Structure 1
Amino acid sequence: MLEIADRLLTALDAGRTLAVGTVVRVDGSAPRTVGTSMAFDGTAVVGTVAGGCVEAAVVEVCERVLADGRARTATYGVSDETAFSVGLTCGGRLRVHVQRVAPGDPLVERLRAAVRGEAVALVSVLPADDDAPGEPLGDVVRGVGPGRDVDPGQDAGPPAGAPEAPSWLARQLDVEVAARLASGRTGTATLACDGAAGAPVDAVEVFVEVEVAPPRLVVVGAMDFSVALAAAGRLLGYRVTVCDPRPLFATAERFPGVEVVLAWPTTYLRKTALDQRAAVCVLSHDARFDTEAVALALASPAGYVGAMGSRRTHERRVAELRARGVGEDAIARLRSPIGLDVGASTPQETAVAILAEVLAVRSGASGEPLRAASGPIHRTTAEALANA
């Protein structure tokens, strides 16, 4: 529901109680991804979970959740005898978790935090089957009230008389939430008993929805190729920074809507914070700082480091990196010549080739044509998280 947090707040601030349905699992091909949400207030729908395929069926579940306040899940797919009646004909299966959200719920403040750009995680326990009611993990671990999900980091304490959270569940949840906040990946996980006395035998399936700051795209060099890459990166939701020491080229007019840093790239890279979701693209072709900038990027946690240049330039750059003491494992991370082979020649085409490689590296995908591969078109959240 975090993806439509601003629209939910508009309704909640108007005093309307909502039933919010969120896609918690996708098997095979489906039109939307895990974490996609829609809301229903009894009269109108906000958002979509399947591009119009199953919304009418989800609304029926929303009506029951609004009536009794109990969270539910429902699964839709082509193997269901009702698949075509609900409209999901794309070959996939969706599992949707529906919960009620009222204006006074603690969850509302988490939605506000997400809109402010803060890192937020919402957690729910999913039922073993669609006939059983779902349990919000806020009740199990944090104890803040029935039918409500909360930020796991916001420990309101259990209500009077409520049991303490099982330590095995709390430990595993902390690890799971931390990993998903670091990667920015929403999805399900199975938390199993670690053998602690009194812990239940059955595993617990949880859905962890996260909202984090946009991944960073740092572009070194204010070239024409950089203009196209910055615009395309912004379109994909990256927080884009262009760094170049030349005031004639590094201007807000050339790079609208992105951060422009007028500084030596090596100075900037030494002081900026990068995480594993960040991508650094060195496009500058400037011998004064290219190699050092690449070395600094490779020494950072950035998940993608690429550099523009010919194969001959790449060989020279690798030799210079070795001379600087950069190890072979780090050099192996360097994507150079940068981008996938799609026949790109213009700055705009090159931006597509570069960002296609960035996405492939981030998700652990091969980058090969889909028709040359087998299996599901869309990667599962677990696969993406494993490669994040």
Structure 2
Amino acid sequence: MFDSQACALAHGAVEAAPDGRAVVAVFDSPVATHLLHLAATLGYRVALAEPGLSGVSIDANTDVVVCDHDRPELGAALRDALASPARWVGVMGSPRHTAPHVAALRELGVAEADIARVHRPIGLNIGSRTPAEIALATLAGLVADRNDRPGGFSFS
């Protein structure tokens, strides 16, 4: 079964999600590679934005996932995502560490209400460690959110 699914994906025969959802991964990384592959197999439209969002189509059915919280372009990428019609915006990062996106967005003059719209941490709390596990947890969280389910986003 996996081989036929992989072939279908490679040949563009995977059915699009009926709700027209899209995932945009910002910043090329191992996590972004896994995230886009898994999202495509689930029928999401996918795009990689590197180094920022210019040239990437974002609509109200788009979930934007920033895949690197250490990049100098972090603030600008999040600012642009928040200014877009994106349905959901999140940045990867451990809940045990300071959220660098907050300071970066404040420095750019982004309103506190908009900063609060950025999800962090993202994904289901499954103890992810590898890039593939992080991508899986992230996409599972997006599917749960899309289906109006809590999905275990609690990190307490």
TM-score by length of 2: 0.75
Structure 2: give runs of 5+ residues left out of the alignment: 1-14
Please name the residue that 1:331 is paired with.
115
Give the Cα separation in 1 of the matches to 2:110 and 2:117.
11
Deviation of 1:350 after TM superposition, in Å, equals 1.1
Please name the residue that 2:137 is paired with.
353
Give the Cα separation in 2 of the matches to 1:320 and 1:224.
23
Give the Cα separation in 1 of the matches to 2:38 and 2:98.
25
Please name the residue that 2:105 is paired with.
321
Contact 2:27–2:49 (Cα < 8 Å) also in 1: yes
Residue 343 (1) aligns with residue 127 (2) = yes
State the one-letter code of the partner of 2:42.
Answer: L
Give the Cα separation in 1 of the matches to 2:36 and 2:77.
18
Deviation of 1:287 after TM superposition, in Å, equals 2.8
State the one-letter code of the partner of 1:325.
Answer: G
Please name the residue that 2:71 is paired with.
287
State the one-letter code of the partner of 2:147.
Answer: S
Residue 216 (1) aligns with residue 22 (2) = yes
Deviation of 1:309 after TM superposition, in Å, equals 2.0
Give the Cα separation in 2 of the matches to 1:346 and 1:287.
19
Determine helix, strand or coil for the equivalent of 1:280.
strand
Please name the residue that 2:60 is paired with.
276
1:299-314 to 2 correspondence within 5 Å? 299-311=83-95, 312-314=97-99
Give the Cα separation in 2 of the matches to 1:330 and 1:356.
24
Give the Cα separation in 2 of the matches to 1:313 and 1:222.
22
Determine helix, strand or coil for the equivalent of 1:287.
coil
Please name the residue that 1:265 is paired with.
52
Moved over 4 A (4+): none
Change (3 A) 1:222 1:350: same
State the one-letter code of the partner of 1:220.
Answer: V
State the number of aligned residues.
137
Residue 363 of structure 1: which of 122, 147, 153 is its match? 147
State the one-letter code of the partner of 1:235.
Answer: T
Change (3 A) 1:317 1:362: same
State the one-letter code of the partner of 2:52.
Answer: P
Give the Cα separation in 1 of the matches to 2:152 and 2:25.
25
Contact 1:225–1:351 (Cα < 8 Å) also in 2: yes
Residue 240 (1) aligns with residue 27 (2) = no
TM-score by length of 1: 0.33
Structure 1: give runs of 5+ residues left out of the alignment: 1-116, 118-183, 185-210, 245-263, 370-388
CA RMSD of aligned residues (A): 2.4
Deviation of 1:329 after TM superposition, in Å, equals 2.2
Deviation of 1:313 after TM superposition, in Å, equals 4.1
Deviation of 1:276 after TM superposition, in Å, equals 1.9
Contact 1:303–1:362 (Cα < 8 Å) also in 2: no
State the one-letter code of the partner of 2:34.
Answer: A
State the one-letter code of the partner of 2:118.
Answer: L
Give the Cα separation in 2 of the matches to 1:317 and 1:347.
20
Give the Cα separation in 1 of the matches to 2:58 and 2:73.
19
